[in-house]
């Protein structure tokens, strides 16, 4: 028995879209404590680790752990039909997921479940030396600026300053972030670091989540993966995203 | 001599667009009483019957019945250039239709007329047992919901309740309408009924007219055509749309 | 040494877009008095002559004349990243143009310069007999109306009246302009004139500039080029556009 009701559809829309940027089939694990998802994209470059506690739902019932396998694109397509003020209720039912939009209408979708996957993805064991917390929407805009000239972003950090750069046929783009900017919440650099990452990958995930995540924490180290932690909504949903560096 | 002036272009834009979803060439019949159009699509699945009384025009002159043949796409293209607060005046002139947008500018189009057709389309003689009146915009949204999983909608009615359903590879969609919903004006079921119709056909016509028609009446019976009656504007324009059922 | 700072990016966005409709590579000439551009499209049908005085900049430094060659599409792409309330500062630096968006962030682009061209384009020595000044946005809408039926516009002028006409397979469009219309600032006809021009060319330039130019002056004579003079912003920027007539 699994039932989860959210007050609005925003979180599900954003999170399912984010997951659909890395996999086609997603297995959610529901336990009495909440819903988790962990998965990597087929080329093992990007990883998402989601922790959605039961306290973030308006109603949550799950007597024992259950794996829910979904074609994530199909789920996104259905969930996007929810209106702004619809409550969303998910319920497993035989081989399907019942999706109810609870508002003045009684609208229901029954989505076929697929075989859940069984192997689990380990989290990378890394320690990262540079951490910047900033507005998610702002990070999206800054990376868009870099993307005008380049497909990759070079991130470097020293002292109280993080620099985003890109280089291409057209020219060069450079943005310096420090604490004087109101969109920067904090900058904490333990060690000078520099690394390069794929811009389309970063922008896919950030634009999926920027509507529901106010701030994002960005952690990286020289030639190590970048880790983005999105705080979603007001009730403790965490989505961690790891992306491997580009080796030139 | 035929002149018809409307206070706004909204009705003409919507009605001409609706007609363009079923035919390429349209023959309007103007009489001293008003303008009528009746036509079927080439595969005889859909029929539109329009009754636009002279009282719904700001100015209307028609001394004797006249048939006006138009390439409806061309007419739509021109009429869409009218601004929100333009009056629209139509006038037959030799082999052309003179379209004037009367506002601060003097804008005129002269559209070539084509040969009107002469045979007339009879209305289907059917009696339908289920009738639901609801907000046009609401019907559009609900059918959009079904279209996410299916190309057809299965409509069933019993007691005070109408149910819309669709089924496809992705899953199943189900919406129940009853009088508790504020968008439902009335439900009147004389007999349990069930039938299936093409969603793209229904959505084409409804989305053409939802900007000018507040409420729509939906009538159907088991394995019979569906009939939609759109009340347009405030002065008695009626557009009836019939669509044949899908036989599985 | 060349530095030019504008209070907003609007003028640069519009002017660079306008220039990109006629050339791929543009050479701006900066002098202590201001910035000029003059260029023709490859088929010598259209000519732009820009005069941007130093007084229209918030800060302007140019010790001696300098030619700045740009791939104009690339420049447009970068300048469009400026936000509404960003100041834009341009500065030559070695073989590049440094583009700074001065706001809360420090955003910089370095755009490679290209070889400036050296030959200069002479202005056509013509005298035109009909002049109409009207709202730029209004001219855009009227030419859009003609474009629904035609790829060219026939402009005729006599007495206090200018007429725009177009003719195509669909039908005929006709718009009469005179002083009774509030969007017409002035009409001054010295001689009856009539000529035909390409609509896509005219609409490209007008739509590029209609956001920053309130009024445009339209001058033409029988079988002569048409000349549009756009007043841009509040500080005396002039952009002249010449387009050769269509000979049937």
ipTM, interface predicted TM-score of the complex: 0.88
Give dist(CA A168, CA A152) in Å, integer.
9
The pair of structure tokens assigned to C101 is 């968006």
> What per-residue confidence (pLDDT) applies to C41?
95
C107 vs A contacts (CB less than 8 Å):
142, 145, 173-175
Topology of the domain comprising C2-112: DNA Polymerase III; Chain A, domain 2 (3.10.150)
> What per-residue confidence (pLDDT) applies to A118?
82
C71 vs A contacts (CB less than 8 Å):
170
C78 vs A contacts (CB less than 8 Å):
148-149, 170-171
> What per-residue confidence (pLDDT) applies to B204?
97
pLDDT at position B10 over 80: yes
Mean pLDDT of chain C: 95
> What per-residue confidence (pLDDT) applies to C248?
67
Task: CATH 3.10.150.10 in chain A: give the residue spans.
Answer: 2-112
Q: Which residue carries 């609007």 as its tokens? A: C10
The residue count of chain C comes to 248
| H helix intervals, chain A | 10-20, 72-79, 136-147, 199-209
Say what percent of chain A tops pLDDT 70: 99
Strand partners, B86: none
pLDDT at position B232 over 90: yes
Contact call for A145 and C81, based on CB within 8 A: yes
Give dist(CA A86, CA B205) in Å, integer.
27
Topology of the domain comprising A130-243: Proliferating Cell Nuclear Antigen (3.70.10)
Are the C-beta atoms of residues A138 and A175 closer than 8 Å to each other?
A: no
The pair of structure tokens assigned to C95 is 């073989």
The pair of structure tokens assigned to A231 is 């705080």
Q: What does the pLDDT look like over B152-169, one tens digit per residue?
A: 999 999 989 999 999 999
Q: What does the pLDDT look like over B103-144, one tens digit per residue?
A: 877 899 999 999 998 888 899 999 999 999 999 999 999 999
Distance of CA A55 to the CA centre of its chain: 19
pLDDT at position C10 over 90: yes
Candidate from B74, B107, B110 with C-beta closest to C145: B107
Identify the weakest region by mean pLDDT among B55-59, C104-108, C222-226: C104-108
| Chain B neighbors (3+ CB pairs < 8 Å) | A, C
Contact call for A171 and C107, based on CB within 8 A: no
Distance of CA C7 to the CA centre of its chain: 20
Candidate from B105, B111, B112 with C-beta closest to C175: B105
Among B154, B229, B226, B121, smallest CA distance to B185 is for: B229
Q: What does the pLDDT look like over C56-109, one tens digit per residue?
A: 999 999 999 999 999 999 999 999 999 888 999 999 998 999 999 988 778 999
Looking at residues B78-89, what average pLDDT do you find? Answer: 92
> What per-residue confidence (pLDDT) applies to A102?
84
The CATH number of the structural domain formed by C130-229 is 3.70.10.10
CA of A112 to nearest chain B CA: how many angstroms apart? Answer: 6
Three-state SS for A5?
A: strand
Give dist(CA A62, CA A196) in Å, integer.
42
Contact call for C171 and B110, based on CB within 8 A: yes
Mean pLDDT of chain A: 95
Taking CA–CA distances from B174, the nearest residue in chain A reads A108
CA of B233 to nearest chain A CA: how many angstroms apart? Answer: 27
C184-203 burial, b for 16+ CB within 10 Å, e for fewer?
A: beebebeeebbbbbbbebbb
Give dist(CA A198, CA A173) in Å, integer.
15
Architecture of the B130-226 domain: Box (3.70)
* Cα dihedral B210/B211/B217/B222 (nearest 10): -10
Q: How many CB pairs under 8 A join B and C?
A: 47
Give dist(CA C72, CA A146) in Å, integer.
19
> What per-residue confidence (pLDDT) applies to A248?
67
Residue B248's pLDDT band, with cuts at 50, 70 and 90, is low
- The DSSP code for B223 is T
Taking CA–CA distances from A171, the nearest residue in chain C reads C111
Give chain B's radius of gyration (CA, Å).
19
CA of C202 to nearest chain B CA: how many angstroms apart? Answer: 19
Q: What does the pLDDT look like over A14-70, one tens digit per residue?
A: 999 999 999 999 999 999 999 999 999 999 999 999 999 999 999 999 999 999 999
Q: What does the pLDDT look like over B190-214, one tens digit per residue?
A: 999 999 999 999 999 999 999 999 9
B152-158 vs B96-102, strand pairing mode: unpaired
Q: Which residue carries 């996007």 as its tokens? A: A80
Task: CATH 3.70.10.10 in chain A: give the residue spans.
Answer: 130-243
| Chain C neighbors (3+ CB pairs < 8 Å) | A, B
Contact call for C108 and A145, based on CB within 8 A: no
Q: What is the largest distance, in Å, between two alpha-carbon atoms of chain A? A: 58
């Amino acid at each position: 028995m699994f039932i989860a009701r959210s007050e609005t559809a925003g979180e599900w829309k954003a999170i399912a879209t984010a997951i659909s940027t890395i996999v086609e089939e997603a297995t959610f694990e529901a336990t009495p404590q909440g819903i988790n998802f962990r998965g990597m994209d087929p080329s093992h470059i990007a990883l998402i680790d989601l922790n959605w506690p039961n306290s973030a739902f308006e109603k949550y019932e799950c007597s024992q752990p259950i794996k829910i396998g979904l074609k994530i694109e199909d789920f996104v397509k259905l969930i996007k039909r929810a209106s702004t003020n619809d409550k969303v209720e998910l319920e497993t039912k035989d081989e399907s997921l019942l999706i109810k939009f609870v508002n003045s209408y009684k609208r229901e979708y029954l989505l076929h479940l697929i075989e859940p996957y069984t192997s689990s993805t380990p989290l990378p064991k890394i320690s990262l030396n540079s951490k910047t917390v900033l507005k998610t929407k702002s990070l999206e805009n800054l990376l868009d600026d870099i993307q005008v000239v380049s497909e990759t972003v070079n991130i470097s950090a020293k002292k109280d300053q993080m620099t985003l750069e890109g280089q291409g046929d057209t020219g060069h783009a450079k943005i310096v972030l420090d604490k004087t900017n109101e969109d920067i919440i904090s900058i904490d650099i333990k060690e000078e670091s520099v690394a390069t990452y794929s811009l389309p990958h970063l922008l896919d995930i950030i634009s999926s989540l920027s509507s529901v995540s106010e701030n994002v924490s960005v952690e990286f180290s020289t030639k190590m993966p970048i880790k983005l932690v999105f705080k979603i909504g007001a009730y403790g949903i965490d989505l961690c995203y790891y992306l491997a560096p580009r080796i030139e």
